[in-house]
Amino acid sequence: MKLKEQNTNTNVLRWPNFVIIGGGKSGTTSLDYYLNQHPEIFMCPRKEPNFFGYELASETDFKDDPSELFYYQMSVTNQDEYLDLFKNARPEQTVGEVSVTYLYHETACQQIHHHISNAKIIVILRQPTERLYSRFLHLARIDKLPSKNFEDCLDKNNTIWWTRNDLIKEGFIYKHLSKFYRQFPPENIKVFLFEDLKKKPNKLMSELYEFIGVDKSFQPDMSIKLNTSGFIKNRLFNSIFGEAKGLIKTARLVLPKTFYAKLKQDPILLKIKNKVRQKNLYKPQLDPVLKKEINKIYAEDIKKLSRLINKDLSHWLY
């Protein structure tokens, strides 16, 4: 009598096929949302698990760095817990995750290569000064400003602006990205620009789908503007409807994790949440004179980056 074959696809541990490594405030939240809509793709239900950046670290490594300690404590640092995030992926699906800290974390590149040597590496980049200003507005929205005024970033004696990874340092993109080009073959790395996501989102997504090997004709819903930032108009209103506060915080604590993750991706609820949030935000324009001064900080790095990724970035210099 012939024995029945066992189902070898049950409880198979899955590593991601592709990883979006950044950059911060450059459209990764949108990419995560668009990719998650594709039936051939399984995106990590937890955006920014940061596993590869903190896998080899411990809390004592960040005893003098409260910002990094916070990120470490909020991240997935155990391999079994990390792989468990992908347990619901179907065997035929392509698996991916997004963690913007991977771009600048010293060990993330080598750890991704160690675990997934053939991984597809995806990065979306934004003009460094514009990214820095967007980060400033994001921190204003969550009431965690590094200092009151954006022009403080020009002061090299201002420790927070010049030592925290997510502020001035993150903008040296060539310095960070070149590590990945040394570790992975260039055909495994795909670089997009934030400006192209804004101007030609369908073309960009088609190229991204093709790069990771899924149906590139799929059209995601791009009608929702995600992760908007700015200064809070009404703090009482924000305490009820703001990010990680009030109703949202209560839902995250009370609801089962899997259900909450699905709820966060619901298009109707996303539209309502973002519409409510945008009405309570204002976004001052970046002073063009100040922008030129900050651009000087990144000028040489931008020129090197342009050669590395073979894209004309001359407009980023002004």
**Cβ pair 96, 18 in contact under 8 A:** yes
Please choose, from the candidates 14, 10, 47, the residue with its C-alpha nearest in 3D space to the C-alpha of residue 29.
47
Strands 281-282 and 120-125: unpaired
CA distance 21 to 114: 16
Helix (H, G, I), strand (E, B) or coil at 42: strand
Confidence at residue 6, expressed as pLDDT on a 0 to 100 scale? 35
CA distance 137 to 187: 35
CA distance 149 to 151: 5
- Going by the DSSP 8-state scheme, the letter that residue 242 receives in this structure is S
**Cβ pair 184, 169 in contact under 8 A:** no
Confidence at residue 301, expressed as pLDDT on a 0 to 100 scale? 98
Cα 249 to chain center, whole Å? 21
Confidence at residue 260, expressed as pLDDT on a 0 to 100 scale? 62
**Residues β-bridged to residue 282:** 231
Confidence at residue 280, expressed as pLDDT on a 0 to 100 scale? 75
Cβ-Cβ contacts under 8 Å for 23 (sequence gap 6 or more): 100, 103, 123, 124, 125, 126, 131, 170, 173
Per residue of the chain (318 residues), what is the pLDDT tens digit?
333 333 334 457 899 999 999 999 999 999 999 999 999 999 999 999 999 999 999 999 998 888 899 999 999 999 999 999 999 999 999 999 999 999 999 999 999 999 999 999 999 999 999 999 999 999 998 889 999 999 999 999 988 999 999 999 999 999 999 999 999 999 999 999 999 999 999 999 999 999 999 999 999 999 887 877 887 777 666 665 665 555 566 666 666 766 666 666 677 777 677 777 777 787 899 999 999 999 999 999 999 999 999 999 999 999
**Cβ pair 241, 50 in contact under 8 A:** no
Structural domains of the chain, ranges and CATH numbers in brackets: 18-222+296-317 (3.40.50.300), 231-282 (no CATH)
- Concatenated DSSP letters of 209-238: HHHHTS-TT---------S---EES-HHHH
Confidence at residue 3, expressed as pLDDT on a 0 to 100 scale? 35
Length of the chain in terms of residues written:
318
Q: What is the pTM of this model?
A: 0.86
